[in-house]
């Protein structure tokens, strides 16, 4: 019986190693063996937070209540905007990120993830970012998603987009059932860079030939790791850093740009402890749809 158990010495390095070990690549023709591109998901590849859209889909199927959904949204809502690395907040996010699927079978969550992507996420993909990913594929380079989202959901997104694979937060399972705990830590901030380093060692990548894309200053460790960094729909801190370092900046937001900047992109799996302002922003956003 296969068991994926939590490591006791968790942290960014362990989370990165675990994520890289769980990464499964799709085969590709005429590959460029030493170059790859790494894309963040939330507000980089997709408008909004993938884990929240997934949670909404589960709630609509009766897996938990609307009250639970709001509690989840608030609990996950956001040092994503401020980059809060408070260890207590990180610990809280780690313990709650997958609690809502505890007791569920992995195969069932993957099936639901496919359904929910098709009905609630596919039309949230930024065409401009998708085109950038495709340009790397066309050049024979592997394209990986790197996200705090649970790896099973991240793989669904990668597969639906025809990408190479995904690095994501790895959850503990016993006999194919989620325990509601994580293996290592959230794949967030420095952990993403550690995951890419580990994957590069495994795949023989030359990081100076690799590219990375993100919207958040939280991903500066990842963006600074590669030879070609691009800020996509950047927050203020990342935009300033990109300008100072002469990185490319691309903004695919349209009339909702101001809203997307103001909203604490609720519920990224690495986000924590919002507040009343986050709740109000969420309610207003979803009432407007």
Q: Which of 71, 91, 67, 70 is nearest to 79 (CA)?
A: 91
Residue 271 CA, chain-centre distance (Å), reads 11
> How close are the terminal C-alpha atoms of the chain, in Å?
45
* 3-state class (DSSP) for residue 68: helix
Is residue 172 predicted with pLDDT exceeding 70? yes
Strands 165-169 and 228-232: unpaired
How far, in Å, CA of 6 to CA of 199, rounded? Answer: 20
Q: For 226-245, give one letter per residue: b (16+ CB within 10 A) or e.
A: beebbbbbbbeebbebbeee
The confidence band for 29, taking pLDDT boundaries of 50, 70 and 90, is: low
Is residue 2 predicted with pLDDT exceeding 80? no
Q: Which tokens sit at 208? A: 């100076």
The active-site residue, picked from 10, 40, 185, 219, is: 40
Confirm if 19 and 151 have CB atoms less than 8 A apart: yes
How far, in Å, CA of 175 to CA of 193, rounded? Answer: 30
Q: Which of 146, 129, 131 is nearest to 200 (CA)?
A: 146
The confidence band for 86, taking pLDDT boundaries of 50, 70 and 90, is: low
Where would I find the beta strands (DSSP E) of 9-70?
A: 36-39
The pLDDT value given to residue 89 = 56
Q: Which tokens sit at 168? A: 């994501």
The active-site residue, picked from 9, 30, 32, 42, is: 42
Residue 87 makes CB contacts below 8 A (sequence gap 6+) with none
Q: Where is pLDDT greater, at 127 or 79? A: 127
State the average pLDDT over residues 28-45. Answer: 89
Is residue 259 predicted with pLDDT exceeding 50? no
State the average pLDDT over residues 180-209. Answer: 93
How far, in Å, CA of 53 to CA of 117, rounded? Answer: 8
How far, in Å, CA of 41 to CA of 48, rounded? Answer: 9
Q: Where is pLDDT greater, at 229 or 90? A: 229
How far, in Å, CA of 154 to CA of 51, rounded? Answer: 9
123 given a catalytic annotation: no
The confidence band for 26, taking pLDDT boundaries of 50, 70 and 90, is: low
Q: Model's pTM, two decimal places?
A: 0.77
The pLDDT value given to residue 212 = 98
Q: Which tokens sit at 62? A: 């009766």
The confidence band for 263, taking pLDDT boundaries of 50, 70 and 90, is: very low
Distances (CA, A) of 183 to 80, 110, 226, 230: 21, 18, 26, 30
Handedness of CA 187, 190, 192, 195 (dihedral sign): negative
215 given a catalytic annotation: no
The pLDDT value given to residue 52 = 83
């Amino acid at each position: 019986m296969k068991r994926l158990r939590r490591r006791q010495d968790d942290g960014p390095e362990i989370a990165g190693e675990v994520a890289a070990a769980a990464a499964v690549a799709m085969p590709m023709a005429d590959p460029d063996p030493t170059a790859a591109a790494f894309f963040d998901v939330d507000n980089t590849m997709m408008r909004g937070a993938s884990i929240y859209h997934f949670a909404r889909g589960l709630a609509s199927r009766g897996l938990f209540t609307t009250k639970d959904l709001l509690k989840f949204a608030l609990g996950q809502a956001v040092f994503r905007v401020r980059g809060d690395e408070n260890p207590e907040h990180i610990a809280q996010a780690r313990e709650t990120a997958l609690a809502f699927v505890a007791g569920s079978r992995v195969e069932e969550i993957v099936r639901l993830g496919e359904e929910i992507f098709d009905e609630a996420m596919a039309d949230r993909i930024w065409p401009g970012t998708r085109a950038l990913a495709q340009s790397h594929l066309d050049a024979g380079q592997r394209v990986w998603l790197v996200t705090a989202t649970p790896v099973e959901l991240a793989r669904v997104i990668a597969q639906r987009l025809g990408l190479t694979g995904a690095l994501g937060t790895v959850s503990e399972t016993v006999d194919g059932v989620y325990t509601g705990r994580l293996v290592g830590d959230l794949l967030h901030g420095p952990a993403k860079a550690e995951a890419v380093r580990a994957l590069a060692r495994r795949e023989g990548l030359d990081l100076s030939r690799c590219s990375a894309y993100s919207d958040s200053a939280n991903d500066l460790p990842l963006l600074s790791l590669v030879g070609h960094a691009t800020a996509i729909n950047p927050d203020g801190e990342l935009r300033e850093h990109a300008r100072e370092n002469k990185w490319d900046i691309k903004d695919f937001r349209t009339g909702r740009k101001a809203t997307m900047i103001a909203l604490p992109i609720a519920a990224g799996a690495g986000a924590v402890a919002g507040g009343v302002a986050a709740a109000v922003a969420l309610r207003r956003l979803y009432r407007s749809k």
